[in-house]
């Protein structure tokens, strides 16, 4: 039984509307079809895939800290993405991955979840290099 790919990330939030707005506006995802579960939520799509499942909670969950530090999404269009972040005033950090042809753009959603969006290093131009972490 070989594993194929990570299907989605499920995030519980007390800020459902704000989270839907952030993922659709900042990351360009689409709020799409979701099964009729008996609790509030949203499925956010990138193309045909519902990558982020949000579950609405009435308050912040009281639980132990999870061991997940971040989740990552592969993308293309580095210049357009950085422009989108700057236009919306979204703070980001950008770095290259040693010995791998990847540029990572790190952002926090409005609940503080760490996401890095990975781009092919071939998209890193001299002009965009000014954003790299020193």
In 3D space, the residue among 47, 24, 123 whose CA is nearest the CA of residue 82 turns out to be 123
22 CB-side CA count, 13 A: 18
Q: What is the pLDDT of residue 133?
A: 84
For the chain, the maximum distance between any two Cα atoms, rounded to a whole number of angstroms, is: 50
At 25, phi and psi to the nearest 5? -75, -50
Domains, the chain: 1-60 (3.10.180.10), 69-134 (3.10.180.10)
Token pair, residue 79, equals 């210049």
**The pTM is what?**
0.88
Write out the chain's pLDDT in tens, 134 residues: 886 788 999 999 999 999 999 999 999 999 999 999 999 999 999 999 999 999 998 876 665 566 678 899 999 999 999 999 999 999 999 999 999 999 999 999 999 999 999 999 999 999 999 989 86
Pairing of strands 41-46, 93-96: unpaired
Q: What is the pLDDT of residue 65?
A: 62
Q: Which helix (H) or strand (E) holds 78?
A: helix 78-88
Q: What is the pLDDT of residue 4?
A: 74
Contacts of residue 122, defined as CB under 8 A and 6 or more positions apart, other chains included, come to 101
Q: What is the pLDDT of residue 2?
A: 80
14, 54 contact by CB (below 8 A): no
CA pair distance 8, 53, nearest whole angstrom: 7
């Amino acid at each position: 039984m070989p594993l194929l790919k990570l299907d989605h990330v499920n995030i519980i939030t007390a800020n459902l509307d704000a989270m839907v707005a952030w993922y659709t506006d900042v990351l360009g995802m689409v709020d799409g079809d979701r099964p009729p579960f008996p609790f509030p939520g949203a499925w956010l799509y990138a193309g045909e895939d519902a990558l982020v499942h949000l579950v609405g909670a009435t308050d912040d969950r009281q639980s132990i800290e999870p061991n997940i530090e971040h989740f990552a999404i592969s993308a293309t269009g580095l210049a357009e993405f950085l422009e989108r972040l700057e236009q919306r005033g979204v703070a980001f950090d950008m770095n290259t991955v040693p010995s791998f042809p990847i540029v990572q753009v790190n952002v926090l959603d409005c609940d503080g979840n760490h996401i890095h969006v990975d781009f092919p290093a071939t998209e890193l131009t001299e002009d965009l290099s000014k954003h790299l972490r020193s």
